[in-house]
């Protein structure tokens, strides 16, 4: 990882309302002390959940809805909405009837009752069938997550009860191999619209995986990208994915998760800071171990579990 100040990065939460630093959250907030990702007031990057925009001209930021298209209803039945107080906060992927994969910087704080996982969702409008809401029982961040460099930005959420599988609520698998440079993949979510609110209906966007060495050269991230990260390009058209941190980067003819959306450049008008996802291929052992150790009927504990009370 580069120590170049020009590409130094902070933490991956939204700090629009307050300047902050990466620190240890008070036990009263999380139930126990855990490094909570908080952002410094000035940094060279943003979490993907904050902003991915492409500009028509220098200084012109266009915040259209993801820049792709509305997804066919329930064509991505594995995609979930992680919500705080009923508001969409992050995306996620249903890997198991009890487990959702998302980004570590989406770490819920406060009481479990304030955080929910919504599955089977196409529209964020209230009461849209056949969406179902589940409480969160346990939060398991990757033990190697670093909020200063965004390495290992993965989080597994255990829901309070099994998600019943159906046409609109299905599991998704993990890729066994890293997608090659030039591979076509896709991302989807309820990105922020021009009105500054989540897009009411699920949007999707085709992306292309970028060569890792090219992404790490001085023109782009200048050595700031770890081997466990995947850079991708959103194309040269207006695109916005604010609010979609934690959503899966899906590749292949048979949809499988290759990465989890993590961050992009601080300057939304800078085309030289491609968005970045955390590779799940490089973390398959941790994911499998966590799922096995806490699945119903098995004895054991997850890596550094954080029960929410």
Q: Would you please indicate which residues are annotated as catalytic (active-site) residues?
A: 105, 153, 245
Residue whose tokens read 């997804």: 71
| Among the listed residues 148, 223, 224, 234, the one whose alpha carbon sits nearest the alpha carbon of residue 188 | 234
Could you give phi then psi for residue 206, rounded to 5 degrees?
-80, 140
Q: Which residues pair with 187 in a beta bridge?
A: 205
Find the Cα–Cα–Cα–Cα dihedral 134, 69, 175, 215, rounded to 10°: -120
CB contact set of 281 (below 8 Å; sequence gap of 6+): 174, 175, 176, 177, 178, 258
- Pairing type for strands 99-102 and 87-96 reads antiparallel
Number of H helices, E strands in the chain: 3, 20
The answer to whether 46 touches 273, Cβ cutoff 8 Å, is no
What is residue 178's DSSP assignment?
Answer: P
Token output for 132: 């179902």
Secondary structure class of 283 (helix, strand, coil) = helix
| Helix (H) or strand (E) segment spanning residue 206 | strand 203-209
């Amino acid at each position: 990882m580069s120590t170049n100040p020009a590409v130094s990065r902070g933490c991956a939460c939204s700090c629009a309302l307050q300047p902050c630093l990466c620190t240890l959250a008070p036990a009263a907030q999380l139930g126990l002390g855990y490094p909570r990702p908080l952002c410094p007031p000035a940094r060279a990057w943003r979490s993907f959940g904050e902003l991915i925009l492409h500009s028509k001209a220098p200084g012109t930021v266009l915040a259209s809805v993801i820049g792709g298209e509305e997804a066919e209803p329930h064509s991505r039945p594995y995609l979930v909405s992680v919500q705080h107080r009923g508001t969409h906060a992050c995306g996620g992927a249903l890997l198991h009837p009890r487990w959702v994969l998302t980004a570590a910087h989406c770490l819920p704080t406060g009481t479990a009752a304030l955080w929910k996982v919504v599955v089977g969702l196409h529209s964020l409008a209230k009461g849209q069938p056949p969406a179902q809401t589940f409480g969160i029982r346990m939060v398991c961040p990757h033990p190697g997550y670093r909020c200063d460099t965004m390495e290992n930005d993965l989080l597994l959420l255990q829901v309070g009860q099994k998600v019943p599988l159906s046409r609109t609520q299905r599991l998704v698998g993990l890729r066994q191999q890293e997608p090659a440079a030039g591979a076509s993949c896709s991302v989807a979510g309820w990105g922020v619209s021009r009105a500054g609110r989540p897009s009411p209906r699920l949007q999707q966007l085709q992306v292309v995986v970028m060569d890792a060495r090219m992404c790490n050269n001085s023109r782009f991230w200048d050595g700031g990208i770890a081997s466990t990260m995947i850079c991708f390009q959103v194309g040269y058209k207006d695109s916005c994915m604010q609010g979609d941190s934690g959503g899966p980067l899906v590749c292949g003819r048979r949809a499988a998760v290759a990465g989890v959306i993590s961050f992009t450049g601080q300057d939304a008008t800078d085309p030289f800071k491609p968005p970045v996802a955390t590779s799940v291929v490089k973390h398959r052992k941790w994911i499998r171990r966590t799922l096995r150790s806490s699945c119903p009927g098995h004895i054991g504990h997850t890596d550094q579990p954080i029960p929410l009370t």
